Structure 1
Amino acid sequence: MHAILKKATLAAALATVSLSAHAFDADIKVWASVDPTLAMLKADGTALDSVVNLVHNPVNGLVPWSQQVRIYSNDEGKDIEVRVGSAPQLLHTSGAGTPVPLTVSLNGKALTVAAQDFLASDLFDGALPGASIPMSLRIAQTNQAPITAGGQYEGIVTIAMQQKTTSP
């Protein structure tokens, strides 16, 4: 009986080794930036793209980019302050060329470093609980003109939002 038990244990160990030799592990790093009060997402509820390619037309300069977005809030009764973190611009990656100023607008309102008030009564119509009306988020070259220095340009557009502390 002891010999049978030894053989069964050996067979189980060999089967485990055989299975683990063909096993595959996938490690996936998961992260989330959580603000329990506000979010800006595409109108369909998916995340905004983290990279946007502004297309250059040699005759007119940069082609404006736009995306339909919604502001999601845990309190539809509070107004929202929206601003850009700093004056948006593109800089040539080599340091050559002149900075290209950008204009960012939300629902037709130009965003600056000074907060713009978006009234809760204008944003939230009750069609989707916690979601604003669809709005156009637009990034465009401030002065539409050809860019004369060729090469790669980069910049960061930071949109900062904050709920007002009191309801209107």
Structure 2
Amino acid sequence: MNTILKKVALAAALATASLSAHAAEAEIAVWADVDPTLALLKADGTALDDSVKLAHNPATGKLVKWSERVRIYSNDIDKDVEVHLGHNPTLMLVGGGGTPVPLKVSLNSQVLTTTAVTFDASTIFDGALPGASIPMSLDIEQGNDVAIADSGRYEGIVRIAMVQATGTP
């Protein structure tokens, strides 16, 4: 009987080893850009999407505005926040050709450019949610009134930069 138990135990061990040799694995690359002073997040505190698809309306020939409710999160709600674009965003036809499509980016109805816009701390930080601004609309839309004539996939990057204003307490 002892020999049978040893054989069953050996068979179970071999079966377990065999199963683990064929186990599925998942690898997930995880990264984070960390700024201990400020972050622009969705209004619920989750990260903004890494990509956004702008819809094209064939009836108008233009892109449909995209909008997301966001908040500025800060470690110092007494400091004003300066916000600007890292560059003038433009959509380019993948593969070349086509006419570049300029984009307009607005935060809380304030058009953003490469020149900093100051958001007054006393206006945006109301204390309702600790460290978070009031909910604001982040809008991305076509920056001109010209119908897009060339078909294909257009791509570009919108880079929004923020810094705590140095002239505030």
TM-score, reference length from structure 2: 0.86
2:18 to 21, 36, 40: 21
TM-aligned CA distance change 1:17 to 1:141, over 3 Å? same
RMSD: 2.1
Question: Unaligned regions of 5+ residues in structure 2, if any?
Answer: none
Matched, 1:40 2:40: yes
How many residues are paired up?
Answer: 163
Q: Deviations over 1:55-87 (max 9, x none)?
A: 111232111111100000011011111001100
Tell me the distance in 2 between the aligned counterparts of 1:11 and 1:77: 70
Tell me the distance in 2 between the aligned counterparts of 1:76 and 1:17: 61
TM-aligned CA distance change 1:100 to 1:18, over 3 Å? same
Tell me the distance in 2 between the aligned counterparts of 1:44 and 1:160: 20
In structure 2, give the amino acid aligned to 1:98.
T
Question: 2:136 corresponds to which residue?
Answer: 135
* SS of corresponding position for 1:72: strand
TM-aligned CA distance change 1:139 to 1:17, over 3 Å? same
TM-aligned CA distance change 1:20 to 1:121, over 3 Å? farther
Is the CA contact (8 Å cut-off) linking 1:59 and 1:145 kept in structure 2? no
Tell me the distance in 2 between the aligned counterparts of 1:42 and 1:147: 30
Question: 1:72 corresponds to which residue?
Answer: 73
* SS of corresponding position for 1:146: coil
TM-aligned CA distance change 1:28 to 1:148, over 3 Å? closer
* SS of corresponding position for 1:21: helix
